[in-house]
Amino acid sequence: MEKLYVIKIGGNIIDDEQKLSSFLQSFASIQGKKILIHGGGKLATKLAATLGVEQQMVEGRRITDAETLKIVTMVYAGYINKNIVAQLQANNCNAIGLCGADGNVIKAHKRPLKNGIDYGFVGDVDAVNTTVLQSLIEQNIAVVVAPITHNANGQLLNTNADTIAQETAKALSSLYCVELIYSFEKSGVLMNAEDDTSVISSINPVSYTQLREKNIIFAGMIPKLDNAFAALQSGVSKVIIGKAEELHSLINGSAGTSIVHE
């Protein structure tokens, strides 16, 4: 099967014009088939503040009321998505920006109440439809996905970009040899959280168990790695975690942490 890169960039890159521009240059120059999933960054929060829309957060997650949904749809699927596409075009990378409603690419349902908390218009992914994605990928078009999905009944939903990256990578694994890359602000999974040079270059299920037992991997890194191993179980060939500025090194294996079967 042909290789496909599914690459997620986090909000800290989106928020930094220079870093984003340099990342997009690197992304554009990747040879081969690729998808970019972008998060939201702080622009939506800023716009909400300017508009006087109060942002409720519960356990680090935004409660998406109707006004907030409108804002994230505008910012994620409009401003950020279209500026990324325009910059990729300027770097000679043909790209198309989509949200989950486009081509029915990502169907989701409104998250049910959890511990009495209504997260509002937040979507949990049901299915990634690969038909349109494959048709675009086969035309060597880079698909740029904004973290907005729909429920197929006309309702848009705000959805976690990490989840979208993972579900998209899993769904496309039946068609491509998928490498899923989470690019963020750190150099990878670290032996010592304080030392950005202490990158663990490779983690397999056995070493993962050991690293958890020794409390080297803990807190927020655990769900990330659990998701990475779940993706491998579902057919993704490799998951790489590392710094957005080192995209090409992440891909050629000389930087970041690779999460592998064994």
Residues near its own copies (CB under 8 A) are: 50-51, 70, 73-79, 81-83, 85-87, 89-90, 94-99, 101-104, 131-132, 135, 139, 141, 148, 150, 152-156
Residue closer to its own copies (CB basis): 78 or 235 = 78
Report how far residue 166's alpha carbon sits from residue 128's, in angstroms, rounded to the nearest whole number: 10
Residue closer to its own copies (CB basis): 48 or 171 = 48
Name the minimum Å distance from CB 103 to its own copies.
5
β 148-150/257-259 pair status: unpaired
Residue closer to its own copies (CB basis): 125 or 141 = 141
Report how far apart, in Å, the C-alpha atoms of 212 and of each of 205, 232, 241 are. 11, 19, 17
Report how far residue 218's alpha carbon sits from residue 215's, in angstroms, rounded to the nearest whole number: 6
Name the minimum Å distance from CB 24 to its own copies.
9
Name the minimum Å distance from CB 160 to its own copies.
18
* 147 and 164 Cβ atoms separated by less than 8 Å: yes
Residue closer to its own copies (CB basis): 76 or 229 = 76
Q: Is the dihedral of CA 220, 224, 227, 232 positive or negative?
A: negative
Name the minimum Å distance from CB 159 to its own copies.
13
